Structure 1
Amino acid sequence: MSIGYVALVLHAHLPFVRHPESDYVLEEEWLYEAITETYVPLLQVFEGLKRDGIDFKMTMSMTPPLVSMLLDPLLQERYDEHLAQLEELTELEVERHAHNGHMKYLAEHYAKEFNGVRQTWEKYDRNLIKAFKQFLDSGNLEIITCGATHGYLPLMKMYPQAVWAQLQVACEHYEETFGRPPKGIWLPECAYYEGVERMVADAGLRYFLTDGHGILYARPRPRFGSYAPIFTESGVAAFGRDHESSQQVWSSEVGYPGSVEYREFYRDLGWDAEYEYIKPYIMPNGQRKNVGIKYHRITGKGLGLSDKQLYDPYWAKEKAAENAANFMYNRERQIENLYGMMHRPPLVVSPYDAELFGHWWYEGPWFIDYLFRKSWFDQDTFAMTHLADYLKAEPTQQVCRPSQSSWGYKGFHEYWLNDTNAWIYPHLHKAAERMIELGKREPADELEWRALNQAAREVLLAQSSDWAFIMRTGTMVPYAVRRTRSHLQRFNKLYEDLNIGKVDSGWLEKVETIDNIFPNINYRVYRPL
């Protein structure tokens, strides 16, 4: 009989990137890479576990932007073309390396992998939400929501209606998609501020996730630290991230993904191949890019990319099994130690970005597969659980007030508010003020109704924390700046047109086609609370 619980939580999120006005936009490939390397491999792991009678339990947030993109016919069609290109390139690679033993082995590995992705993609009629929902329906996967566009809630708390819109629109979208209300929410960037729990409760949510120090520095100090959730005064439970299990996977120094057997992310065929050969598979303007075929392994720390040795999936898979066994062993010892001190079943919450598994850490889905199998067959110290199931099993918890927190740099709000991105917030605040003002209006006709709803969409899209995050990281900054400005400019035009009573119907129709997220949104969500 188990004496504790482990909750594996994956946060599946991408910003809403969809450009029907262009034939090719590089940033759309964020989704395509995630489908190929993370979402389909995870589904294949789930299918294998179910097939083998393993009653796995996992929590996974799927954010509204990601869900909307996975359901979008245009992006489904474009992914289909992207995958076809990958399949074509791997066929060429198998031919090219027909007489080179190890390279042939690697090319055939990718050919088999992409063929498996194709089979899964077509089995679910290109609808991966349908695929994930079957595991929600079977009770294996607890799917939770997030902010409507992953808006950073502590930096909009001076406008409660804006926070409410992020929560309520997300919950409504979830129910439209999955046919039931969500039980929990991954607060965007795990960012908590005091008072947001009341809105979480009003939205009908039962629990939220925040970083560990949000629980550890709660008032009064929680008796069991982050190894049990706390109940807020609103009745909503707060779960905190476990530092020890997180470090084993996340840490760039000691984390599993740095093992020398694993695939090297930064060396890719798109840069290694001769230009004329790879040209049909890179950007239309002729610029090189990653194509997703990588033949080398990490090899060792401090080595240049040219010094990397060839990858071997067999030994990488063996290493993933070893790491999964080590993770399980450490959780057993951790839970035994905690149980001895707590005298009640501890909970270890291990949350990660979903894209770590497969995209950044190619072997991550193998790790998850081995972890569930080993935990099912090889130990009885802990049970893998959903967060919702844990609350059913352990309904009595301490009541505390969490501390402000996030899982960003230094644990608070600095990553999303600094000298690289501070310029966006006066504009976002002004847009929120204006949207709250528009929320009180009654439309004169159908055109104004559409304009008001589109205004709400543009504010939400501008508020995405991804744009501030990208500005801080220094990668793809022009795109993040362009997206922030374009949504604000579209919103301001709508605001001005509505105020003069003259909505540009042709322009509105174009914007509705481009920014088509939340088709059933009601702008009145911004009315005073």
Structure 2
Amino acid sequence: MSIGYLALVLHAHLPFVRHPESDYVLEEEWLFEAITETYIPLIQMFEGLKRDRIEFKMTMSLTPPLVSMLRDPLLQERYDQHLAKLQELVEKEVDHNQHNDHLVYLAKHYIEEFAEARTLWERYSGDLVTAFKQFQDSNNLEIITCGATHGYLPLMKMYPQAVHAQIQVACEHYEENFGRPPRGIWLPECAYYNGLETIVADCGLRYFLTDGHGVLYAQPRPRFGTYAPIFTETGVAVFARDHESSQQVWSSQVGYPGSPEYREFYKDLGWEAEYEYIKPYIMPNGQRKNTGIKYHKITGRDLGLADKELYDPYWAKQKVAEHAANFMFNRERQVEHLQGIMQRPPIIVSPYDAELFGHWWYEGPWFLDLLFRKTWFDQDVYAMTHLADYLQTYPTQQVCRPAQSSWGYKGFHEYWLNHTNSWIYPHLHKAAERMISLACREALNELELRALNQAARELLLAQSSDWAFIISSGTMVPYAVRRTKSHLMRFNKIYEDIKIGKIDAGWLQKVETLDNIFPNINYRVYRPVM
């Protein structure tokens, strides 16, 4: 009989990127890459575990922007075309590399991988949300929500209505897509501030996650550290990230993903192939880009890309088996040690970005699959659980007040508020004030009602923490700046038009088409919370 628990938690999120006004926008491929490399492999893994009668348990967030994009017909059609291009390219690669048996072997590996992705995609008619939902319905997967657009909540706390809107809209969207209210929430960037739990409770949520120090520095100090949830005074539970197990997988320096046998992310066919040959498969303007077809392994940490050796999935899978066994062994010893100290079953919460598995760490889905299988067959020290099941089994916990925290750089808010992106927030605050004032009025007619609802959408989209994150990271900065400014400009135009009583119906219809997230939103969600 197990003496502790392991809870794997994956956070599946992408910003809302959808451009019907253009035939091609590179940033839409963030979604397409994640579908091929992460979401489809996860579903394939779940199906295999169910087929083999392995009762796996895992918690996974599917954020509202991601769910909206996965169910958008335009993006589904564009992904279908994207996958067809990949299949065409790898078929050409077999003939193109006839002189090199290893490259032919790798090209055939990708042919099989993309064919399996195509089969699953067509089996679910492009609706991967339904594919994930079936595992929630069988209680293997606990799907949780997030902020409506992943807004960074501690930097919105001076406007409780705005924080409430981020959470309430997310909960309503979740119920529309999964047929029941969500029980838990992944706070965007795991960012918590004192008092947030009250809004979380008001929206009907049962638990949320923080980084480890959010619980370790709680008041009073939790008796069991991060190895048991705490309850806030509102009754909402808080689970904290376990540093040891997280670093073992997450870190590219000391964690598994940096192993020399694993596939090298930064050496891609789109940059390596002869230009005229690859031109039909890169950007329409002729600029090179990643294709997702990668032929080399990490080889060594200090090597340049030119010195990387060819990848071999066979040997990578052998290393994955070794790493999955090592992870299981470490959790067994960790649970045994903790149970001896605590005199009760500990829970080790291991949260990761879902895109780590498959996109950044190509072998990640293989690792998860083997970990679930080894856990099921090869040990009895710990049991896998998802967070909702754990709370049902252990409904009594210590009451504490969590500490302000995030899982970002230095553990607090600096990455989302610094010299690169601080210009955003005065505009977001002003827009929040305006939206709260708009929410207090009653629409005079159908056109004004549409305008008020669209204003709410534009503010939510402008608040996405992804834009500040991208600006801070220094990658794709012009796109993040453009998105922030465009949503704010659209919001302000709607606000001014409503104030003067002259709404531009044609322009509004165009914006509704462009930014069509949350079709059932009610602008009154921004009214003061009583």
Normalising by structure 2, we get a TM-score of: 0.99
What is the CA-CA distance between 1:394 and the residue it aligns to? 1.1
Return the alpha-carbon distance in structure 2 between the equivalents of residues 177 and 503 of structure 1. Answer: 32
C-alpha distance in 1 between matches for 2:42 and 2:95: 29
For 2:528 and 2:293, how far apart are their aligned partners in 1? Answer: 52
Which position in structure 1 is the counterpart of 2:182? 182
Spell out, residue by residue over 1:139-187, the C-alpha distance to the aligned partner (whole angstroms, 9 max, x if none): 1100000000000000000000000000000000000000000000000
Q: Which amino acid in 2 is paired with 1:221?
A: R
The amino acid of 1:73's aligned partner reads P
What does 1:49-198 align with in structure 2 at a 5 Å threshold? 49-198=49-198
Q: CA deviation at 1:250?
A: 1.3
Query: Which residue does the alignment assign to 1:486?
Result: 486
State the secondary structure of the residue aligned to 2:91.
helix
When the two chains are superposed, the root-mean-square deviation of aligned CA atoms in Å is 0.5
Letter in 2 for 1:382: Y
Aligned to 1:241: 241
In structure 2, what is the Cα distance between the partners aligned to 1:303 and 1:99? 26
The alpha-carbon deviation at position 30 of structure 1 amounts to: 0.1
How far residue 97 of structure 1 moved from its aligned partner, in angstroms, is: 2.0
Match of 2:209 in 1: 209
In structure 2, the partner of 1:418 is 418
Partner residue in 2 for 1:521:
521
Q: What residue is the counterpart of 2:354 in the other structure?
A: 354
Aligned length: 529
CA shift digits 1:46-81 (9 cap, x unpaired): 000000010000000000000000000000000000
Distance across 2 between alignment mates of 1:18 and 1:322: 40
Measure how far apart 1:94 and its partner are: 1.2
The one-letter amino acid of 1:428's match is: L
Deviations 1:24-51 (A, max 9, x none): 0000000000000000000000000000
In structure 1, distance between residues paired with 2:45 and 2:105: 23
Deviation at 1:98, TM superposition (A): 3.0
Task: Give ranges in structure 1 of 5+ residues lacking alignment.
Answer: none
Question: Could you tell me the percent identity over the aligned residues?
Answer: 80
Name the CA distance, whole Å, in 2 between partners of 1:58 and 1:95: 42
Aligned residue for 1:180, secondary structure, equals coil
Q: Deviations over 1:432-471 (max 9, x none)?
A: 0000000001011000000000000000000000000000
- Between the aligned partners of 2:31 and 2:321, the Cα distance in structure 1 is 28
Structure 2 CA distance for aligned equivalents of residues 57 and 251 of structure 1: 24
The aligned counterpart of 2:408 is 408
Equivalent position of 1:372 in the other structure: 372
Give the C-alpha shift of residue 99 in structure 1: 4.1
Question: Is 1:326–2:314 an aligned residue pair?
Answer: no
Q: Quote the Cα distance in structure 1 between the aligned partners of 2:99 and 2:119.
A: 28
Tell me, what secondary structure is at the counterpart of 2:334? helix
One-letter identity of the residue aligned with 1:338: L
Partner SS for 2:194: coil
SS at match of 1:345: coil
Letter in 1 for 2:410: K
Partner of 2:36: 36
Q: What SS does structure 2 have at the residue aligned with 1:23? A: coil
Q: In the aligned structure 2, how far is the partner of 1:67 from the partner of 1:167?
A: 15
Distance of 1:515 and 1:63 partners within structure 2:
17
* Distance in 1, Cα, partners of 2:96 & 2:285: 25
For each residue in 1:120-146, what CA deviation from the matched residue of structure 2 results, as whole angstroms up to 9, or x when unmatched?
Answer: 000000100010011011111000000
- Matched residue type, 1:210: T
Query: Match for residue 228 of structure 1?
Result: 228
Q: CA deviation at 1:252?
A: 2.6
- Mapping of residues 255-334 of structure 1, within 5 Å: 255-334=255-334
User: How far apart are 1:395 and its partner, in Å?
Assistant: 1.2
Structure 1 counterpart SS, 2:472: helix
CA distance in 2: counterparts of 1:135 and 1:318, whole angstroms: 28
Tell me, in whole angstroms, the C-alpha distance in 2 between the residues paired with 1:173 and 1:317.
39
Q: 1:493-518 CA distances to partner (integer Å, 9 max, x unpaired)?
A: 00000000010000000000000000
Secondary structure in structure 2 of the residue aligned to 1:395: coil
Aligned with 2:22: secondary structure?
coil
**5 Å matches for 1:447-526?**
447-526=447-526
